[in-house]
A = this chain, B = another copy of it.
């Protein structure tokens, strides 16, 4: 099969490219390198069946020519910055909503109809139902990031209904592991490198969050695409449990052998739109036969180890 992976130089995208290549597929990665890293594709670029296209998804002509001949498009490119959405509201609209529209139009131009999409658990806003299932009560958006992913999901579903597309929409919790380039482990490690005696934690640290290890995430996506056959297939992906931010802090400082003074900025939420409790019901994807292998604590430690071995990423990702 010939796969296109948008955001192919990103955290999840580059790991997915590697896996698809290892499984014997042809892969075209599209990335504008706004956050993706050329170094993440060093292995992939050694492979004969790999092509890298440097293009921005807002350039419809470029996207259209890049997807030609694909059997399947994994659309993972996104502005994944949920925290700073209010500083640049146009970014989520463009990088997520408009980019997704262009990917769909590019596919339609070539008669390509199968798309996998990285959505987010943030789409549930502050759900009252926890763990939150895919058919939770119609949510109210609390972040521009969530709103833009909601718009993308709507577009994909409408293309399934109107143009005979088939879609696999994955609502992720935060993903951890090798090539992780943003999120709380990144922020905490960076702070501690600069000053090992002090760590600032946004909010009261009691926020409860679920996470998932990158290879578990990829296993789930590939299994779902293989086994779920509806026109629109929506799956929560996450570990069956959650941790407190303070737990995570504890594991990180322990692994690093540090004893910093912890300063909490206070409040239930770390930032505007921060959801103090994210925990998704993953019964639907489990029913397909998937089970996550790496518990959250282990995923955090693996992430930290990778960051320690790849400190260059702390320089390039501000």
A residues adjacent to B (C-beta < 8 A): 85-86, 89-90, 93, 97-98, 101, 104-105, 124-125, 134-144, 146-148, 150-151, 153-155, 157-159, 161-163, 232, 234, 272-273
Contacts and interface: CB of A to CB of B under 8 A. Distances in A.
A86 B157 contact: no
A89 B109 CA distance: 13
Contacts of A125: 157
7 contacts: A89-B104, A89-B162, A90-B101, A93-B97, A141-B158, A141-B161, A158-B273
Contact of A93 (B101, B139, B144, B234): B101
A134 B144 CA distance: 21
* Interface class of chain A by DSSP: helix
Contacts of A90: 101, 105
A156 B143 CA distance: 10
Q: Which 8 A-B pairs have the closest CB atoms?
A: A147-B154, A151-B151, A147-B158, A135-B137, A141-B157, A86-B162, A150-B154, A141-B154
Q: Copies per complex?
A: 2
B136 A137 contact: yes
A110 to B, nearest CB: 15
Contact of A162 (B134, B144, B163): B144
A146 to B, nearest CB: 7
Given A101-B93, A134-B138, A138-B135, A155 B161 contact: no
Nearest to A150: B154
A150 B151 CA distance: 7
B162 A272 contact: yes
A257 B110 CA distance: 51
Contacts of A141: 153-155, 157-158, 161
A46 to B, nearest CB: 39
Contacts of A147: 151, 154-155, 157-158
Contact of A137 (B85, B137, B157, B163): B137
A197 B146 CA distance: 52
Contacts of A124: 138
